[in-house]
Chains A and B, each alone.
Chain A
Amino acid sequence: MSGPLTEPMYYVLLALAHPAHGYALMQQIRQLSRERVQIGPGTLYGLLSRMQDDGWIVLEDSDGRRKTYALTELGRQVLLAEYERLRLLLRDGAFLTTEEETG
């Protein structure tokens, strides 16, 4: 893992907490992000290919033109590391909202 994940990468790994195929992932990401993040098919295909090459995800099932992917142990570690990084970022910046609330 060379650096922080991009937003689409993070959401793809997050959505793959449960194995899913491409289009299901797109819907899952929209749901998870409350319609805020919408990944296009071109971007998603590129991400899935790259993540598979890096060993973060693995092909679990292939139903014709639809392929189902699942997280690998490495992928899970990458996701957890990113989650931890984001959590620390939030913690460090939490005083901004508490200052606003106390006035």
Chain B
Amino acid sequence: MKYTWRPTPERWAVAEAQEYYAAMARRGWMLDKRGVRWDRYRRTGPQQLQFWLEFTPRPVLLDEPDDLPAEKQQLYEDSGWQLAARRDEVYVFAAPLQAQVPQPYDAGDPQQDAMIARLQRYYRRDFVIMLLSVLLIGGLTALVCTRPLADLLTGFWMLLFCGLSFLRAVWESSYALGAITRLRRRLQSGQMPRARRRLGYRAVRRGLSALSAVCLAAELVLALAMWRGTAPLPAQSDGAYVMASQALNLPRVPVEEASLQLRSGRVNQVQRAPLFPFGTGYAVCELVDPQTEIYVWQDVYDLRSPWLARQMARSMREHGIFAAADQYVSVQIDGLDAAWYVPGGMEYVALAGGRAVYGTVTGADQSGEVPLRLLEATGARWSGR
């Protein structure tokens, strides 16, 4: 059996849904299952059908079933309307177009109480959605206005995607409020729901959807490129490499090239992990000097937002491996945000642009002579604990 799926018409678009289901039936696709976002259609061959959406009355008690009264459903079936699909409070009935099937309701009588009650509920729901979306847009705007622009440039596409998504939610919910109000007035005055094309509404919605999809795609491409290491990364402070190169007269090795060095055996380990949607994380372990067995271990968090990087650096300062040590010495080294020394090793945090680097340098010399020699070579200023 062949199936196809199409987006579910908006819940308030009653007459439009009826017409759409009839049009699909004419094209040979019978509504099979009504979903929350997508409706399923079964291939049946072209049929001339009419559809009607019946709403269940709102339950008074919490444990009351949200079903159409059995007698009412029986009346529909006896009259020639067959249940095609059901989702929550909406029952979709279908009947042959040419047959002598009575219309479910007589025009002129405001009797569709269940639908009116449901519409009131939709109205409240859409009002809350609109309010929340407006608040979120306001929050995003405040974020953009209060942070330096440079902070957000690297997260630009994700930010734009979020903004456009919320804008779409505002557009949909505010339009729904107007449409529900008009439909309720129409039903209360005894008129039947009337299908409208709503070209402007759909054009704006599609436009916003397309733009947000483009932004999301750009964000994903950028994230993938950074994960693969092909995208340019912000400037960084490789404190450990600086120290190592100065102390041991070794060439400075940027982190970006660490994976290349892996082949030569100088880099022992390189790991990359995407921190979607915030950026990429790297873990680099390098044996700097085989003779003295000095290891440099760096965790690099390319967070693409200086603000996030600062938060990460602060967290690393508070939870570093030496933070709980009984005795360590804080040292000041140019290019490093913070550094600590204990006999046998040192720890540092470097911060640059949207990148936070946490690193440790350890030497095999238990006396601590090698790390001390490294520190002295950098001209570190000791500030004590």
Contacts and interface: CB of A to CB of B under 8 A. Distances in A.
B71 A42 contact: no
Nearest to A67: B71
Contacts of B109: 6, 8, 43, 46
Interface of B: 54, 69-76, 78-79, 81, 102-106, 108-109, 111-113
B106 A65 contact: no
B54 A42 contact: yes
Nearest to A41: B75
Contact of B102 (A40, A46, A47, A67): A40
B78 A41 contact: yes
Given A22-B71, A66-B71, A43 B79 contact: no
Contacts of B79: 23, 26, 40-41
A83 interface: no
A41 B102 contact: yes
Contacts of A23: 74-75, 78-79
B105 A43 contact: yes
Ranked 7 nearest A-B pairs via Cβ: A23-B78, A41-B75, A42-B104, A65-B74, A46-B111, A65-B70, A40-B104
B106 A39 contact: yes
A72 interface: no
A44 B113 contact: no
Contacts of B74: 22-23, 64-66
B258 to A, nearest CB: 72
Given A6-B109, A23-B79, A46-B111, A40 B103 contact: yes
Contact of B71 (A26, A39, A65): A65
Contacts of B78: 22-23, 26, 41
Nearest to B113: A46
Nearest to B69: A45
Interface residues of A, number: 19
14 contacts: A22-B75, A23-B74, A26-B79, A40-B102, A40-B106, A41-B102, A42-B54, A43-B106, A43-B109, A45-B72, A46-B109, A47-B111, A65-B74, A66-B74
A101 B113 CA distance: 47
Nearest to A37: B106
Contacts of A43: 104-106, 109, 111
Contact of B111 (A26, A38, A42, A67): A42
Given A23-B79, A43-B109, A38 B71 contact: no
A21 to B, nearest CB: 9
A51 to B, nearest CB: 12
A4 to B, nearest CB: 14
Contacts of B75: 22-23, 26, 41, 44-45
A46 B70 CA distance: 13
B334 to A, nearest CB: 81
Interface string A60-86: 000011110000000000000000000
Contacts of A44: 75
A26 B111 CA distance: 17
Nearest to A27: B78
Given A6-B109, A43-B106, A67-B71, 8 more contacts: A22-B75, A23-B78, A38-B102, A40-B79, A40-B104, A43-B105, A46-B111, A64-B74
A23 B78 CA distance: 6
Contacts of A65: 70-71, 73-74
B204 to A, nearest CB: 34
Nearest to A24: B78
B87 to A, nearest CB: 19
B176 to A, nearest CB: 24
A38 B75 CA distance: 13
A41 B52 CA distance: 12
A42 B78 CA distance: 12
Chain A CB count within 10 A is highest, among B72, B105, B106, B108, for B106
Contacts of A42: 54, 72, 76, 104-105, 111-112
A41 B106 contact: no
Contacts of B54: 42
Contacts of B103: 40
